[in-house]
Amino acid sequence: MRGDIVFWLYILIPIVVIGGIAVYIEKKSGMSVPDEDKQKDKLFQVLSQNDKNTRGPGF
């Protein structure tokens, strides 16, 4: 019985520690959710430029 508990502790403790480190680094990096308005504006620019490229010069 005691051996089973020790086995699971050896398995779960490293997973919890690595998960905690990953969350800490993610919070520390300061990454935030991207602004959707900026994404839409950039997408419009890319699509309009792509349309110009597919039609070629002079059209």
Q: Could you state, in order of their start, the residue ranges of all structural domains in the chain?
A: 2-55
**What percent of the chain is predicted at pLDDT more than 90?**
29
How many Cβ atoms sit within 10 Å of the Cβ of residue 15?
A: 9
pLDDT digits (tens, 9 = 90+) for 4-57: 999 999 999 999 999 999 999 888 887 676 677 888 888 888 888 877 767 666
pLDDT at 53: 66
pLDDT at 20: 95
Task: Round to whole Å and give the CA distance between 53 and 56.
Answer: 5
Sign (positive or negative) of CA dihedral 36, 42, 45, 51: negative
Torsion of CA 9, 10, 15, 20, to 10 degrees: 70
Alpha-carbon Rg for the chain in angstroms: 25
